[in-house]
Amino acid sequence: MKNTWNDFVKPIVVLGVICLVTSLLLAVTNNVTAPIIAENAVKTANATRQALLPSADTFTEVAPETPTEGVTAIYKADNDSGYVITAQAKGYGGEVPVMVAFNAEGTIEAVQFLDNDETPGLGQKVKSEAFQSQFSGMPAEEFGLSDIDAITGATISSGAAASAINAAIAAYNQEAGVAGEDLSALSPEELRAALLPDAGAITPVDVSADGVTEAYKGEAYGVVVYAQAEGFYKKPVTAAVGFDDDGVITGVYIDASNETADVGGQVGRPRFAGQFVGKTSLDGVDAVAGATISSNAAMDAVQKAIDAFSTVKGA
């Protein structure tokens, strides 16, 4: 009986006691360290948000009415200087998370990709300054992989990075109320009102100018001019351009429906058209990469509208 205790029962009891004590110690350690780890994670996240949006004072987490897929956290600056949104998308080795800061003007202030499991030397380059910095200053509008400098040899990771930022953009637009309605879905009257806000009644005027197909004057101020130029397929690219009384562009809509959707058709996106707003000339307007002919057609149409401004205003 003694041998049975020493040889079999005692080792089992001792092992059981050791396991019990170890489990208790681990539980106690976890209870002590878990809050510290969580607190440190919060401090790190807050520090990152502050670094991305320096103009912010403090942040408050926002609970969206309609969650955006891929978005894991939304924080608004308490001084209304912007938002910092965390989002993620599936990459080559797992989720690719990113923090995106948006300033009060609706542009991307900065981005920072967080720790991920992408391939070292390839997908991990999404965390490089060269890749991250290209997003600063971009408007809060959806973009494609062709709009950025993707990482050579890491197309999947680059695509995940773009998708994550686009998710953050969608959430920002929803929260900030600047979703940017699809002007192509507006009626002609609604479109003109969008291009020339608060102008009152906008009525047609008769003018004869190169490339101009329609022209309108606002009751309170400004004009709207429609002009065309020949696109890639020898079909028209039409620009509808709003101007204030000083000839400053208040809004632009470009109908590029005759161009190839994912190439020349990109000139019809708000990101391209938005470049003209606030200008009186084409200075500083950039063509869409890979769509030179369509870009030139759109810019030519806008230039024709600019050239016709004085004629329309005086009509």
Per residue in 103-155, pLDDT (tens digit) is 987 889 999 999 999 889 888 999 999 999 999 999 888 888 888 999 999 99
Confidence band of 89 (pLDDT split at 50, 70, 90): very high
CB 161 within 8 A of CB 96: yes
Strand order in the sheet with 212-218: 202-204, 212-218, 223-230, 236-243, 249-255
Range with the lowest mean pLDDT among 83-92, 106-115, 173-182?
Answer: 173-182
| Helix, strand, coil abundance in the chain, percent, nearest 5 | 40, 20, 35
Q: Cα(116)–Cα(195) distance, rounded to whole angstroms?
A: 43
214, two tokens: 């329609």
Average pLDDT (40-55) is 82
Percent of the chain at pLDDT exceeding 70? 88
Helices (H) and strands (E) in the chain, counts: 7, 10
Q: What is the pLDDT of residue 35?
A: 64
Any idea where the domains of the chain sit in the sequence? 59-176, 183-313
**Torsion of the alpha carbons at 9, 10, 11 and 16, rounded to the nearest 10:** 90
- pLDDT digit string, tens, across residues 278-307: 999 999 898 887 889 999 999 999 999 999
Average pLDDT (81-103) is 95
Is residue 249 over pLDDT 60? yes
Is residue 19 over pLDDT 80? no
* DSSP per-residue string spanning 83-143: EEEEEEEE-SSSEEEEEEEEETTSBEEEEEE----SPTTTGGGGGSHHHHGGGTT-BSS--
Average pLDDT (192-204) is 96
Q: What is the pLDDT of residue 149?
A: 93
Q: What is the pLDDT of residue 180?
A: 46
Dihedral of alpha carbons 258, 262, 263, 269, sign: positive
Confidence band of 34 (pLDDT split at 50, 70, 90): low
139, two tokens: 């408007």
Q: Quick check: helix, strand or coil at residue 274? A: helix
Confidence band of 32 (pLDDT split at 50, 70, 90): low
